[in-house]
Structure 1
Amino acid sequence: MTTPPTRPAEISHGAGWLAHGFHIDVHSHRDGQLVYPASGVLATTTERGTWVAPANRVTWTPPGFEHSHRFYGRTDVRLVVIPEPLCGALVAHPGVFAVNPLLREALLTLTERQDASSGAYQRLRAVVIDELVEAPDQSLHLPEPRDDRLRVVTELLRADPARSETLTELGRTAGASGRTLSRLFRDEFGMSFHRWRTILRIHHALIELTNGRSVTDTAIACGWSNPTSFIEAFTAVVGQTPGRYQAGLRGGQ
């Protein structure tokens, strides 16, 4: 059963465990916000699309962006507020960034401290900002389409990521040729159809693995023809194998 949505005020700076399916409704912040799932998976959605973060990523939402959150698996969530005057050092749009060992420990330490006004806290927060400036953007981002024909295709695939039709075949439902849709993917999303579908499948794979599904069953459920091709794609996008990712989940419990 999906946990009902919560008001934003029910989640504040710090650390806490959230149940699978926990949802925070659309809201915005005066300041910037980092949300780090130390275990579990976080999906953050804005009008620009959806960003997914497993435990080796941290999400960044600048001030003023309306967004919502959904958590998959039992999630150890860590929230750090970045005061608006300090946000200029970070990118001006939502994103997801790689978490190296130093950044992970800094985020864990910050969210276990209560006094955000102390000098030690502010110095450690400055370290986090410096690390994020240098961290690669690894967004696992699925943009939202503007074109109605593109929206038909993306909704079909979101409903069933394992669909194997070609873009030309999907275009028959959308009323557009494969060539037109290919151009739309590049113009609107800045990526190929193949890349977009791979990221979509990785989104679903992260959720399946977090819920304890085997690597082989996850590969089949998400549309890969065999576990080897799934492992290669997952490793290229997430930065670790599906097996290592699941082992990390068990280690964090």
Structure 2
Amino acid sequence: MHAFEAAFAEFDPDATVAPVVAVHLTAQQRRSEQPVHRHRKGQLILALRGSVTCHVPTGLWMVPPQCAVWIPPGMTHSNRVSQHGQVCLLFVEPDTAPLPEVCCTLSISPLLRELILYLAAQPTDYSPDGPTHRLVGVLLEQLGRMPTEQLHLPVPAHSRLRRIADALASDPANRSTVAEWAQQVAMSERSLARLIKAETGMSFGRWRQQLHVIVALQRLSAGMTVQRVAMDLGYESVSAFITMFRKAMGKPPGRYLAERNRGEG
């Protein structure tokens, strides 16, 4: 077993008495993936370097540097960390703090990042009336104030839409139209468009764009160039890719990731 997966397997957050615990992990020469599992505690996955992709039953969540995904208690999920990635995992006992009841991607402030890193360096059996416990109170208060990021890709439950989602995830450069996909899954174009909107809340074009943003962040965070990512996603030019990214995220990819790596909002 790879060292990263072994560390995941050896640490059982639900076996700890402390209501909030953290662990700092690093991937090595290849990307690392954690099998589908669940915890009694809620889990925050903070990406320190590289990226994390989290699969839950209803979607795909992307965690670029200086962001985190919150997974509510009891929800099944799996995590994939990019090559040379670093993550910090924070586990929170249910009802310890008023945290979201659904998955969401959070922008993490430099203060909260340092609080989580500090907790990860402390023993998990800290005293309930000691300084670490008091710090945890501040940490949870800060966590509740973090803004959300729109880095969620709804994954359709319908079997025909799953086929399309799986095909696009395997080949994000696929430029098939709704009409062409409709023919492949034996539906009318109008019925497929309505079904995609009902299942994802997005048009097909918007849904595919969201997939492109997530894949782009995944690859850019792993060190791939903007030119290579644009080509891999099937864009005719780098400028066309940058325009798409800026429209979706409000900033060009280089600036977006530079600010994330510096811990800026």
TM-score class normalised by the smaller sequence: 0.7 to 0.9
1:116 CA drift (Å): 5.8
Residues 215, 116 of structure 1: CA spacing in aligned structure 2 closer, same or farther, 3 A cutoff?
farther
Is 2:156 the counterpart of 1:122? no
Cα drift, residue 90 of structure 1 = 0.9
Equivalence for 2:228: 217
RCO comparison, higher one (Cα < 8 Å, 6+): 2
Q: Alignment partner of 1:85: what SS?
A: coil
* 1:93 matched to 2:102: yes
Displacement of 1:64 in angstroms is 0.8
Once residues 4 and 128 of structure 1 are traced to their aligned partners in structure 2, the CA distance between those partners, rounded to angstroms, is: 26
| Aligned-pair CA distance for 1:70 | 0.7
Match of 1:104 in 2: 113
Aligned to 2:193: 182
**Percent same amino acid at aligned positions?**
33
Secondary structure of the equivalent of 1:73? Answer: coil
Of the structure 1 ranges 216-225 and 38-47, higher mean CA displacement relative to structure 2 is found in 216-225
Q: 2 CA distance for matches of 1:239 and 1:76?
A: 26
Q: SS state of the match for residue 217, structure 1?
A: helix
Normalised by the length of structure 2, the TM-score is: 0.82
Q: CA deviation at 1:215?
A: 0.6
Query: What TM-score do you get using the length of structure 1 for normalisation?
Result: 0.86
Structure 1 CA distance for aligned equivalents of residues 161 and 102 of structure 2:
23
Aligned-residue offset at 1:115: 4.9
13-22 vs 239-248, greater mean Cα deviation: 239-248
Residue 155 of structure 1: aligned partner = 166
- Any conservation in 2 of the 1:8–1:24 contact (CA below 8 Å)? yes
Which of 67, 75, 83 aligns to 1:73? It is 83
Alignment check: 8 A CA contact 1:14 1:113 kept: no
Inter-CA distance 3–134: structure 2 relative to 1 (3 Å threshold):
same
State the match for 1:24 in structure 2: 34
1:73 positional shift: 2.5
**C-alpha separation between the residues in 1 aligned to 2:247 and 2:113?**
21
5+ residue gaps, structure 1, are none
What are the Cα deviations for residues 221-244 of structure 1, in whole angstroms up to 9, with x where unaligned? 113232223223334545653224
Equivalent in 42, 47, 52 of residue 42 of structure 1: 52
Amino acid at match of 2:105: V
Structure 2 residues not aligned, in runs of 5+: 13-21
Aligned pairs for 1:129-140 (under 5 A) are 129-140=140-151
Structure-1 separation of matches of 2:196 and 2:141: 34
Is the 8 Å Cα contact of residues 51 and 222 (structure 2) preserved in structure 1? no
Whole-Å Cα distance in 2 between the matches of residues 135 and 4 of structure 1? 28
Q: Secondary structure at the match of 2:101?
A: coil
AA paired with 2:57?
E
Partners of 2:93 and 2:9 lie apart in 1 by 17
- CA RMSD of the aligned region, Å? 2.7
1:113 maps to 122
Question: Structure 2: which amino acid aligns with 1:72?
Answer: S
Equivalent residue, structure 2, for 1:52: 62
Q: Matched residue pairs, number?
A: 250
Is the CA contact (8 Å cut-off) linking 2:26 and 2:85 kept in structure 1? yes
> Could you tell which deviates more after superposition, 66-75 or 124-133?
124-133
Quote how far apart the aligned CAs of 1:251 are: 7.7
Secondary structure of the 1:243 match is helix
Is the CA contact (8 Å cut-off) linking 1:116 and 1:122 kept in structure 2?
no
